[in-house]
Amino acid sequence: MFDKKELDEMLQGFVRTAVNSTVTKLPVLEESYVHEAKPFKQVTEFVSQKAKTAHMDLYKGYIESLNKISSELDTAERGEVNSRYSEYRNLKIGEIFNLNATWLHELYFSNCFDPHSEIVMDSMPYMRLERDFGTFEDWQRDFMACALSAQNGWVVTGYHSFLRKYVNTFVDGHSSHVMMGFYPLIVVDMWEHAYFRDYLTDKKSYLISQMREFNWGVIEERFKKAESIAQVVK
């Protein structure tokens, strides 16, 4: 690989270039970050209390791992790395897995489990999904197809900043087949731990129960945010 002296010399070269350029100096960012678990009301009757409790425990476990990895990345050896096996490579893989797991669970817990929410035809989510999928029912059909195509993973509707439209996709695990340039908006957990206790292998009934209780108020706020971000990221 390269020794520390060699790396320092290379980096100093970069610093000189940056200082001579007109780019504004940015504040130094701390590598390490600490995330805290949030409370979520799972008021649904479609999921048992045991499954809800177990799911929250899993979510907290991902955060615990994420914080540990974040702390270890702070001091990880960056000189002796390679693409086959190194501590740094393993930490970065673990970071993606646990960061995605944390964020996806938070999106899922807050966009599901609202038995009183209904979508209205002049709302932003309804109009955008109808525009990009043909009809709202076509979006639902495609969302279900993605969900049932996922292995232990996720189904997600999101805004794609390159395509500039809303699309459905699935993620296997927490970090396989992740679409780049994609801002997640509507999320359902398709891991066995989410449905097996209450639905056994009937993933479809579980999925329909989740879709019946989407919190469209939460989802609409995400749609607005996604499009405003897309204005900046072109």
173: left (phi over 0), alpha (psi -120 to 50) or beta: left
Q: At what angle do helices 192-199 and 203-212 cross, to 10 degrees?
A: 100
- The residue within the footprint of Fe ion, chosen from 132, 142, 189, 220 (CB under 5 A), is 189
Nearest Cα residue to 193 out of 45, 51, 39, 46: 51
What x-and-dash track marks residues 165-184 binding Fe ion by CB under 5 A?
A: --------------------
Rule CB under 5 A: say whether 213 interacts with Fe ion: no
- Among 126, 170, 113, 124, smallest CA distance to 144 is for 170
List CB contacts of 145: < 8 A, sequence separation 6 or more: 168
Size of the site for Fe ion (CB under 5 A): 3
Contact flag: residue 113 with Fe ion (CB under 5 A): no
Q: Please report how close the Cβ of residue 193 comes to Fe ion at its closest, in angstroms.
A: 5
Q: Which is nearer to Fe ion, 126 or 196 (CB)?
A: 196
Smallest gap from Cβ 37 to Fe ion, in A, equals: 13
List alpha helices for 76-186, DSSP H: 87-111, 124-133, 136-149
Residue nearest to Fe ion (CB): 189
Nearer to Fe ion, 47 or 194 (CB): 194
Give whichever of 113 and 166 is closer to Fe ion, judged by the CB atom.
113
In the bound complex, what is the minimum distance in angstroms from residue 231's beta carbon to Fe ion? 32
**Residue given tokens 């409790």 in the structure block:** 53
Chain positions contacting Fe ion, by CB under 5 A: 189, 191, 194
